[in-house]
Amino acid sequence: MPSAARKFLMAGRGGLNLTHSESLDPFLTRYGAAAARLEPHLRAFSPQDLREFCAGLGEETFIGTSGRVFPKSFKASPLLRALLARLSRQGVVFKMRHDFVGFGQGRGLKLRDPAGAALEITPDAAVFALGGASWPRLGADGGWTRAFAEAGIPLTPLAPANCALHLAWSPHFLEAFEGQPLKSLRLVHGEKAARGDLVVTRRGLEGGPAYALASALRESLARGEAATLSVDLRPDQSIETLAAKLGRPRGKASLATHLRKTLALSKIDIALLREASPEGLPQDPQALAARIKAAPLKITGVAGFERAISTAGGVAFEALDADLMLKARRGIFIAGEMLDFDAPTGGYLLQAAFSTGVAAGKGAATPVEKAACSR
């Protein structure tokens, strides 16, 4: 691209959630199967280290009410300008509009310049931080996977993550509620659960809880299993409490009026219950309470790379040593979203990108011959 860090700037459109303030032990669990491989890098360059790094660039951070960490400017551009200015002072030269094409011999790298001419370089060390495949119009389209696969480097296929969920709304529901919020829900799929607010879209659901469960739902669909999303409309009340309220005499009031008066369910809540109950809502208070606590929605798919916040999959950790250097190609290091991990929103993806960047950078700063001897 003609300028640097376009996806970083995109991440800052909502305030640039850099990291999270929770203690490191629960922080590590957010990375699932990749937690053990990321742990040494996250401990070596922790969320607090990232905050201090930003402060050193003149961009102080603060902890929001949710525990997420943001720059005080609430923008990505001041932090990026400060970082690029520091790099320039240190003699870094930027070569824009160059593409990575493939590997040559040893540490040789094949590139294509802005005019389309081929060139090859053999650096002392190289750090690859080419990103995943989400928001490809910003430059990172996952095209590097072809060259890595051709070189025999083990990869997990890239897949969209932290993305919207697709489902088939009825025309009536969509006409009445497209663009409207669903408040204070708890979503469950398998062993995964998330709480928060959602927005109804033409194709399905958007919002933090949907993003948190997108990968698990995508994997269920890939296995040919039913991808059912269970929606709890009253996560802070038990079935028994709801059933007791619903059991009150309703007289001539309609069921919708009864739900509004006894449980304070909104029109969109009730409409969602009906979407999840094509056979009709249960009349029995206990059964109706159970449906309110677990309204089933059939997910038909997840958003593609063009709208996904991040990417799952990438270079397998088994292909790398402890310094994130490719075992098959000494002197070549991998960092960030190219690595095979899946992180939720909340600052976890950016923290892992910074932490693995530090690890790869330190590895690249060590002469390859010396590093080989030390191992």
Q: pLDDT for 119-158, tens place per residue?
A: 999 999 999 999 999 999 999 999 999 999 999 999 999 9
Mean pLDDT for all residues in the chain: 95
Rama region for 139: left / alpha / beta (φ>0; ψ in -120 to 50; rest): left
CA atoms of 330 and 349, how far apart (whole Å): 26
**251: number of CA atoms within 13 Å, CB side?**
5
CA atoms of 167 and 352, how far apart (whole Å): 31
Contact 225, 298 (CB under 8 A): no
Per residue in 147-185, pLDDT (tens digit) is: 999 999 999 999 999 999 999 999 999 999 999 999 999
Question: Taking the CB of residue 346, how many other CB atoms lie within 10 A of it?
Answer: 22
CA atoms of 46 and 86, how far apart (whole Å): 21
Intervals of CATH 3.50.50.60 along the chain: 6-160+310-374
Rounded to two decimals, the pTM is 0.89
CA atoms of 77 and 55, how far apart (whole Å): 15
Contact 242, 293 (CB under 8 A): yes
Has residue 366 got a pLDDT over 60?
yes
Structure confidence at residue 333 (pLDDT): 98
**Per-residue confidence band for 375, with pLDDT thresholds at 50, 70 and 90:** very low
Question: Element (H or E) spanning 121, and its range?
Answer: strand 118-121
CA atoms of 97 and 112, how far apart (whole Å): 9
Mean pLDDT of 103-120: 95
Distance from the Cα of residue 374 to its chain's centroid: 36
Mean pLDDT of 187-209: 96
Angle at alpha carbon of residue 54, lines to 49 and 56, rounded to 5°: 95
Structure confidence at residue 374 (pLDDT): 45
- Its CATH architecture, for the domain 6-160+310-374, is 3-Layer(bba) Sandwich (3.50)
